[in-house]
Amino acid sequence: MPDAALLLEVRHLTIRFAAEGRPAVDDVSFAIGEGETLAVVGESGSGKSVTALALTRLLPEPPTRYAGGEILLGGRNLLALPERELRAVRGGQIAYVFQDPMTSLNPVLTVRRQMAEVLSLHRPDVGRNRRAQDAEIVRALTEVGITEPEKRLRAYPHELSGGMAQRVMIAMALACRPKLLVADEPTTALDATVQRQIMDLFRELKGRLGMSILLITHNFGIIGGLADRVAVMFRGRLVEEGRTEDVLQHPQHPYTRALIDCIPRLGAHRHRLATIDHAALENIRS
C-alpha cells in the first residue's frame, strides 16, 4: 500500500473474455497514492494492459466481462458508473499514453485538431475558444519539450518523429490535468536514445506536477529512478509487489527473478541471454 494519500484502489479485479476459459485478470488488487508511481511489470499476455484499460472500462463489453471486483477513484466505483459519467473520467481524471504513438494519433488530423478536441471535452475553462485552445496547446507542447510548438500545431502525425509523436501524446494526456497518468508501454516503438529521453521526461513531469503514474512495462531496466513501487504480473495474477529497490535487489518470486535475469548487462556479450522456463513456473502460486 502507498504511504501517500490514496488516489486509486483496485480490489479483487477479475476480467474474463468470452472465448477464454481462464480469467485474463485474476483477483488483482493494488493501490496508487497521490504523487506516486506504480510500475506493473510482466511479459506480453500477462494481463498488464488489460488491467490498465479496465480502469476506465475501455475494453469492449462483450466480449469483455468484468466478473468481479471494484475500481475506486475518489470513493466512486468506476465499474458501476453509467457511461455518461465515465466519459468525464476518461481523459479528465485518468489519461492514457499508449505504446505506439504513430497508431494512437489520427493520421488525417493535425496536432492542433486532436488536442483541441480533448480540451473541448475536458477543459471548461478553455472550452471551444480557438485562441484559448491554441495558447493551452502551445503551453502543453512546450511543457513536454517540443521545440517550435507553434509550428507543430499544423503538423500531421507522419511529419513527426517517433519521439516527437510520443511527446505529443504525453502533452495531450497532460493538457486536461488528470489525477492519474497511465503510460502503457510508452517506449516500446522507440529507439534506445529516445526511450531514455521519454523516461527522463516522465521523471521531470512527475517531480514538477506531482501527478500519479501507472507505468505498464515488460522491462525492469527502465523503471529505476521513476517507479516508487513495482507490481509483477504473471498469467493474470499479481505475484509480487513492493518498493522498487527491494524488488530489484531482493526479488522473492521465481518469476520476478527470471524477468530480472533477462535484462541485458553491459559486458556480458559473451554469455547467452537468459530465458524464462515457463514449464517450471507453471505450477508456482504466489
Nearest to 241 by CA among 72, 2, 66: 2
**In the structure, what pLDDT confidence band is assigned to residue 53 with cuts at 50, 70 and 90?**
very high
What proportion of the chain, given as a percentage, has pLDDT over 90? 33
**Under 8 Å between Cβ of 36 and 64:** no
In the numeric block, the cell 476506465 is attached to 56
> Which pLDDT belongs to residue 286?
45
Q: Which of 31-35, 84-88, 100-104 has the highest mean pLDDT?
A: 31-35
Summarize the confidence of residues 52-56 as an average pLDDT. 93
∠ at Cα 84 (83, 90), nearest 5°? 75
Quick one: how far is CA 261 from the chain centroid? 24
Give the mean pLDDT of 253-260.
Answer: 85
Q: Structure pTM?
A: 0.86
Residue 158 has pLDDT above 60, yes or no: yes
- Has residue 279 got a pLDDT over 70? no
Own/partner pairs for 6-9, CB < 8 Å, 24+ apart?
6/31, 6/32, 6/33, 6/34, 7/32, 7/33, 7/34, 7/36, 7/73, 7/179, 7/180, 7/212, 8/32, 8/55, 8/71, 8/72, 8/73, 8/94, 8/180, 8/212, 8/214, 9/70, 9/71, 9/72
- 72 phi and psi angles, rounded to 5 deg: -105, 125
- The answer to whether 36 and 5 have CB atoms below 8 angstroms apart is no
Q: What's the pLDDT at 90?
A: 87
pLDDT band at 212 (very low <50, low <70, confident <90, very high): very high
Contact 205, 190 (CB under 8 A): no
* Res 50: pLDDT: 93
- Is the Cβ–Cβ distance between 210 and 174 less than 8 Å? no
Helix (H, G, I), strand (E, B) or coil at 146: coil
Q: So what's the pLDDT on residue 41? A: 92
Average pLDDT of every residue of the chain: 85
Q: What is d(CA 17, CA 23) in angstroms, rounded to the nearest whole number?
A: 7
Query: How high is the pLDDT of residue 72?
Result: 95
Highest mean pLDDT among 56-60, 175-179, 223-227, 270-274: 56-60
Percent of the chain predicted with pLDDT > 70: 89
Question: Is pLDDT above 80 for 271?
Answer: no
